[in-house]
Structure 1
Amino acid sequence: MNITREQVDALNAVVTVALTKEDYKPQVDKVLKDYRKNANIPGFRKGAVPMSLIQKQYGKAVLFEEVNKVLQSSLNDYITEEKLEILGNPLPKATEDFDWDADDYAFEFELGLVPEFTVDLAAKNKVVKYNIVADDAMLDEQVERIQKQYGKLISKEKSEEGDDIKGIFANEEKGINSEVTITPSIFRTKTTGKKFIGKKVGDVVTVSTKGLFDDDHKLMEYLKVDHDMAHGLDVEVTFTIEEINTTEPAELNQELFDKLFGEGNVTSVEELKEKIKQDAEQQFAQQADQKFLNDVTESLLENTQFELPAEFLKKWIQTAGENPITPEQAEEEYTKSHQGLRYQLIEGKLINDNNLQINFEDLKAYASVMIKKQMAQFGQMNPTDEDVENIVSRVLSDQEEVKRLSDQVMSEKMLNLFKENVKYKTKEITYQDFVKEMSGK
């Protein structure tokens, strides 16, 4: 056997595997002998079938299979020994009039090679790392929400601004019949909201669905229509009022504080707001980190320049799935996926260059923290180490969970790497303004 490589260019190579009869004939002969031992052919005793008949019936198929095994094994060994970093899989080059009756064969394979490049985390970029704060307006809003949530529900005869109005949205023609609870402030315009003010149980309000909410998707929630119907729905619906309720806000006293945070942990409105602020900003930090991670990813894709063996990859995509696809379909698939492939290569280089590989202890530690947080949400503040370890063992016995946790651990490692090495600007911002930044408004 002889294996040679022709370097077409920096991203493409052709490997030729030359086989002699000695490379595959022993394996072929062994398989045919096994076939002969077990063959059941009329007119011959088992194990006494002439080898010429076995050769005639099975020889070509066995030859194809055993040569292919030798090819795959030798090619994989060569790629490993030569430390070739390839994309996709080797593609066999078609050869016209290939002579399988010959003793010696030569097979050519196209390789797509991983490009050489560097990743400069310290390069100048426009990435902003947000520090999201809970401002006084948000804290006041959250306090009001808590007071309403734990307040006393009072039935009313006539509706006013801020009341909860239970009723049924209906339109017979469109099959709409949805029982919901609304407040007049949910609608896009104040004019629509005013139609619900001063109404009594049994009254019917008629509104148009066109522009009813600031987002047509809310029609799915309130009218119980599907996604396709929600877009562009322009009909009149009736709302028959069944109940009108208001909430008497709960008093901000020690009884409420203890109910929310445990006895004696919060003793004043100021401490309540500080607790809300801490909890909110902890959640905001996770959202800010995710945006930072996404923005750095986009910056790296933009600023890390390298080419891919595009034509090779398009050919490989044609054959990679269960069923072959056309060149046009492969072109479309490559267009959709090549940025993702570029980032996989960038991420892989960062992992190798910074030794960010994940080990089992990383997974165990991450799973333990996650499980303790989940248990705390259900009131189990001090679980035993044994309980946590048992749950961790069950979680890590599930391969899908291991994959999911591995992705999260790697995401955390990459985030920490970026925080330590990327040059970014810090911007303090309220949550409301952060949402606007996210939506591009």
Structure 2
Amino acid sequence: MNTTHYLIAGASHAGLEAVHRIRLVDETSPITLVTRDAHAPYSPTILPYVVSGQSAPERVVLRKADYFTKHNVTLISDNELVAINENDRVASLKSGDQWQYEKLLLATGADPIIPPIPGLSETPFHVLRTMQHAIDLREHAGKAKRAVVLGAGLIGMHGAENLRHAGLDVTIVEMCDQVLPGYFDPRAASVIETAFNDNGIHMVMGSRVVKVESQDNGCRITLENGNSLEADLLLVATGVKPQLDYLKGTSVQVDQGVLVDRNMRTDAPNIWAAGDVAQAADFYGEDKVMMCILPDAVTQGAIAAMDMAEDHALAPYVGGVPINTYTFFGQQAISVGQCMADAQLEELTRTDDDNQRYLKILLKDNRLHGISSINEEMDAGIMWQLILRKIDLTPVKDAFIARPLETGRALMSSTWR
């Protein structure tokens, strides 16, 4: 029986941050890090650039082998957690190995959702969630001419742009009426859609796929309006969800993901969860939500590790606030906090159609609740902190509306001091 003090399942941002935080206060207790990926740890955010050839797999490593050696971390690659015996504190891996742990962190991320479209399972298609997915997609893209991307979320949009950069004719099919509905309102989305159209990507919005048929060297995609598309490369990017089969037989409570408290603890003793697998407190309400964004994965990984290591500097999780920075065809969009107004929020917008610029600010009691922009000078991290810290903007409200970046920087400078 293998033994370790800390067992961390997952080696992306939440898991790696947990290793870092544990070692700040506990330099000696053994850490074992298990990842199902055969590649050295990397950020999923760079995968579209591997597809286009702008980044090489060997150049996007987050932690090299010597890091784990230096910090007394046993890294187990190309393996994964398949079962937990919580009473004996034993984790079973796909390889058949078992590890007895004192404390276990679940940072196993999420897997692509494959929609139940007739014919899809019998048709060759790609997803984009791992390095191997990106390598396979890049290899196929080098031989393809026409690509169809199902889904206009961040993965689909990034994937489509980089397939276009790789020289393919690209069509995006999205059942919603706009791109990126979880991040931007229809006005902002229209600016992004225009940029994609202007760069030769065909956008089919508000349309559902009803059938996929495999053909020689490709496939035919039939839409609900009867129209069809043909492609020799199909990318499915219709969302992600955690795979939680390894929790069967445990007392760990799940909903959309693993339910955790504000210290990232699950209901089971000695088990924590963080990152895309965790369903944690919402900053804006009482519900627990799935965030699935990189900054939040880092935050949750840090909090879980500090609790596991009994770090007295631990501050409980304040709740998830969405933050996304999205670069497309040389333009930049950000979305922080809430993106859609409701009756309780004050909405202020500014548009400049000639320069494809857009700004929307959402306030409640003169405190920032959300901000989204396209091609405006903006620091998403500062806006995130203004929301998290519930900074009262009353004394500088007019200045903030006119110059959010400069005013936000001044506010945070004085707050941090």
TM-score of the superposed pair, with normalisation by structure 1: 0.19
Question: Larger relative contact order (C-alpha < 8 A, sep ≥ 6)?
Answer: 1
Q: Which of the two has greater helix per residue? A: 1
TM-score of the superposed pair, with normalisation by structure 2: 0.19
Q: Return the index of the structure with the highest Cα Rg.
A: 1
Q: Which of the two has greater strand per residue? A: 2
